[in-house]
Structures are given as structure tokens and as C-alpha cells.
Structure 1
Amino acid sequence: MIVDSHLHLVFTRTQPWEPLVEKALHHMQMHGIEKTCLMPHPQFAGNIYPNQADMTFQAETLVEIANAHPDVFLPLLFINPSLPSAFTLELMEKYILNGPIIGAKFHISMIADDDRYEPIYDFLERHDIPLLFHSWYKTVQRTTFESTPADIARMARKHPKLRILMAHLTGAKLRGVQDIKALPNVYLDTSGSQPEEGYLEYALRELGSDRVLYGSDYPIRAFSTQLARIDSVDMSAEDRDKVLYRNALQFFRKGGA
């Protein structure tokens, strides 16, 4: 079994989700992927700060996809922390706590330890809802509010019961692995750029196989190259199963273990 922990659909009001899902399902079947995390990607849809109407549209679309394919997709609600927290909390209660959406996704809208996140973090922590957070160490083309692994680590120390999947092993690099090493509530997905030798082995050695989840970043990256990142590393069958699906099944569910 394979569960992909990092997948996007770039649906918009003018780009319906049905053909995108059909294409993704076809590619998943080709590579033996049975379940996947599912996130909208507002950056490539042209708006990293969606308004309340756009946030609601995203939530309702994720619900439609989840209801149409209940055993395939594990949807995450994109959060814009600059919106009024009362609206965001109401949206999360309706669509995550009492709906089919599994958890939350934070992108490049605000640095991870910004105080505007705090009511949202408290809600997620209180209800044991998983959070996926984009992060990257960059020397060029870093956006103003793009979090580094160090930013994720500062936030995670303040919220030790919050389950966090820090995205992009290749973006985190060796330094990012060390940033989160002492934080057992922070996991790491294997996505980010193209595979580079040594990073996955290092993450497994430093974090342990229980904290590493396979992710592709599809459709930005191909399933084939991202699965090759896993296949190329010598590990036990038990560790491979953890990375490919067991850890994801534990992480992407409401209420925890």
C-alpha cells in the first residue's frame, strides 16, 4: 500500500475539479497509490490570501471531492491566517470538526510563529487535528512570509500536542532535520524539488522511521521520481511500510492514535 502525504489540485471557479481528479486517479493507479492527502494550491491559482468567499468555496469543493471518493482522498483545508479568527474557527468547526475534511494546510501566508495563528493552533491542538505546514530553506526566491524549518520548530515548541507535518525534505535539508529532531510532534514529508542523494537516509537516521512520510508534491513533481526517492534507499521492509503508508494513516486522521 502507498499513501501520498503531499498532493495538490489546482481547482478554481473556472477550472472544475472533476477532470483534475480523474487525471490524478489515473496517475495514482499507474503507481500503486491508494490514498492521498489532498490540498488546494492557492499560490498557483493566483491568490495566497483567499477571502472568506474563496475559503468557503475551497472548503465546499474539498467536501464534494471527499464525498465522491471517500476512500481515496484525505483533504486538508487551506488556512489564511490574515482573515478574522472567528470566521476561520467557524469554518474549521463546520468542515473539519463536523465534516469530512481531515486537517489544515498552511502555506506562505504568514511566518509560522505569528500570533495571528494562535487561535487556530489552539483549536487544532485542542481537537487533535493534524496540520501540514510548508517550509523551505532558500537562498533565492524566498517569499516574504515563507516559513523555514526553524520557524516551524519555534511554533511547535509552544504547541507540543499539535501534530505537525513539516513539508519538503529537500527544502528542509540537513539543517531542517536538526531543527525538528528534538520535537516528537513534528513529522517530515519527503517531497520538495527533485530527489537528491543522502537526504532521506539522513532524515531516517536522525528522526527515526516513525516520523518520515512519503509525499510527492504532485502535480508539481511526478509520482515516479518521488517514489524513486524511497525505492533508492536501503531500509527494512518495516521501515519502508512506515514511510510509504503506515505513518500517514496514523497522521492523517482526526482524534489521533
Structure 2
Amino acid sequence: MSLRSGAIDAWAQPAMGNLRERMPEVARLFEKSGSADLLERRLDPAQTVAEMDKAGVDTLMLAAWCRPEGWVIDNDQIAEFTHAFPDRFVGVATVDLGKPMAAVRELERAVTELGCKALRVVPWLWKLPPDDRLYYPLYVKCIELDIPFCTQVGHTGPLMPSETGRPVPYLDRVALDFPELRIVAGHIGHPWTDEMIGVAWKHDNVFIDTSAYLPRYYPSQLLHFIRSYGQDKVLFGSNFPQLSLSRCMEQVKGLDLPAEVEAKFLRGNARRVFKL
């Protein structure tokens, strides 16, 4: 089986060469993952595609990043990638959560003018869980625009408080308040993986992506979920450039998933959830 037939990476960001300067919290995470060299390495769109081709990844969902101190990667920079290779990159917008009305307007611009297919907000950056009132206007706009909301669950690799990443009660409450909202929870949810699986099972529109974990380290209960009653609920993700695309894809082969399950995990679920 060829992994070049449509693999979609649901969580990635461009290698802009500015992470050590603008996201110092992640430097330790990159160092522990063996990818410290990419903290300051810049890859243009063509070079990024070359990395994808080596790994057998067809599509990267590239996300913008904003933090309270300012933009790290803005939505227009993401659009430079998606416009250069529209068949290889999909844009995932972000917003300045601290400016609620401007955030809603920026989300609409990113989707309607720049072509982004989702919104991502990382709660630990803002020290606000996803049921905070500042998120709620964005959830309404996501539903109006028919795009998913993507977020991080589980402990934080960076040395920041992890409480905002608990699936229960925070993400569960959002899914109860907005049953129409498609939610993609990235980074598995460890050490609350069982909670995350429970929330995904409970809510039809809640999904999990596996970013930030090499496949050989996926928790056993998540692998059981992927192979059985959760085969429509889990999406492949890498967190590139934190993890090597090639290492991730090589290790997916080692999971020995049934062909139909692997096809859903690598591409089918992402296509359906993000309406690609």
C-alpha cells in the first residue's frame, strides 16, 4: 500500500525559523523531540513540499499562531503557502483571542478571503480553557462558516500549566453548548486520554488528532479506539516541524492497522471533518 495516495496531516505549522524567538516555551519540546535544529530553520513552500514528498504526506494543514504578546505566524503568511501549492496545503486560521470583535472579523476574513478551512486556538497560550466566554462568539462564527474548531488537549509539552487542556469538564461543556460545532482535539489528551476518548464517543461532532506523539507512543486505549468503535473519530497529525514527517509515517506502517481503518485514519476522517 502506498502512503502517497492521500495522507493528510491534521496538525502542522510552517517552519518559519522564528520559534526560539517568538515561542520560547516550545524550545524545550523541540529539543526533547530531537528536532531542535528546526527551531531556527526556515523552509519555504517548495522546501516544505519536498519534506512531504520524502515522507509520503500529500496534504499539510498549516496553522497560524497568535499569542497575547502578538502574532507568531499570521493568517496571511499561511495563505502564502496555500496559494503557492493549493493542492498540498490547507490553511488553519487563528485569531487574537483577547480582542473578541476583531477576532470574529479576522476569522471571517481568513475563511472567506484567504481560504482557510478551520480555526485553531491553543488554550495554554491564553491561560483560558475553551469554555471561557471569549471563545463563544468564535464558535458561533465557526458554525456559520461551517468550519471545525481545532484545539489542544492534554498536558502541555512546553513548561506551562496544563489545566486548560482537560477534556472534562471544559471541552465536554463546549460540545454540550454547541452540538453543531465540529471540534478536533489535538495531541491525544494524555494523561487524560480516557477522558478524551469518552468525550469523542459521547459527542457526534468531537474528534481526536494524534499530533505531537510518534505513532509508536500512542496509548494502547487510543489504538483500541482507532481499530474499533472510534475508527471514524481519530485523525492523523504530526505537529510538524516538532516531529519528522518521515518518522511519523514510517511508524504508522508499524501499527499494522487494517487497510480500511488506516485509510480513515490517514485521510478519510480528515476529508470528512474538514470538508476537503
TM range (shorter): 0.7 to 0.9
Structure 2 CA distance for aligned equivalents of residues 174 and 92 of structure 1: 32
Question: Contact conserved, 1:50 with 1:80, CA < 8 A, in 2?
Answer: no
Query: CA–CA distance in 2 between the matches of 1:26 and 1:99?
Result: 24
- Deviation at residue 71 of structure 1 after TM alignment: 0.8
Which of 196, 210, 214 is residue 217 of structure 2 equivalent to? 196
Q: Does 1:67 align with 2:48?
A: no
TM-score (norm 1): 0.83
1:170·1:199 contact (CA, 8 Å) conserved in 2?
A: no
2:96 is aligned with 1:80: yes
Q: Which residue of 2 aligns with 1:152?
A: 171
2:180 matched residue in structure 1? 161
> After superposition, where does 1:35-50 map in structure 2 within 5 Å?
35-42=59-66, 48-50=67-69
Equivalent residue runs for 1:111-190 within 5 Å:
111-137=129-155, 141-143=159-161, 146-150=164-168, 151-169=170-188, 171=190, 172-190=192-210
Deviations for 1:21-67, whole angstroms, at most 9, x for unmatched residues? 3442222101111111101345xxxxx2254xx38x71211122211
How far did residue 125 of structure 1 move? 1.4
> What do the CA deviations read for 1:158-182 (whole angstroms, capped 9, x no partner)?
1111111100126352332123320
2:43 partner SS: helix
1:60-89 deviations in Å (ceiling 9; x for gaps): 111222111111111111223212x22111
Q: Which residue does the alignment assign to 1:95?
A: 110
TM-aligned CA deviation for residue 142 of structure 1: 4.2
The root-mean-square deviation of aligned C-alpha atoms, in Å, is: 2.9
Are 2:49 and 1:34 equivalent residues in the alignment? no
1:204-254: CA deviations, max 9, x gaps? 256521111111111111223322443233432111111111111122238
The residue that corresponds to 2:230 in the other structure is 208
Task: Name the structure 2 match of 1:45.
Answer: none
Aligned to 1:8: 13
* Alignment TM-score, normalising by the size of structure 2: 0.78
SS class of match (2:196): helix
- SS where residue 147 of structure 2 aligns? coil
Q: Secondary structure at the match of 1:9?
A: coil
The answer on whether the counterparts of 2:227 and 2:261 sit within 8 Å (CA) in structure 1 is: no
- Distance verdict in 2 for CA 1:104–1:145, change over 3 Å: farther
Supply the distance in 2 between the matched residues of 1:97 and 1:207 (Cα, whole angstroms). 35
SS in 1 for 2:217: coil
Report the secondary structure of 1:87's partner residue. Answer: helix
Q: In the alignment, residue 185 of structure 2 is paired with which amino acid? A: M
- Checking the alignment, whether the CA contact within 8 Å between 1:131 and 1:165 is kept in structure 2 is yes
Per the alignment, do residues 140 and 49 of structure 1 end up closer, same or farther by CA in structure 2, a change over 3 Å counting? closer
Residue 138 (structure 1) shift: 6.3
State the percentage of identical aligned residues: 20
Letter in 1 for 2:14: L
Aligned to 2:26: none
Distance change (3 Å), C-alpha of 1:23 and 1:123: same
Are the structure 2 counterparts of residues 9 and 3 from structure 1 closer, same or farther at C-alpha, using a change threshold of 3 Å? same
Residue type at the aligned position of 2:151: F
The aligned amino acid for 1:208 is G
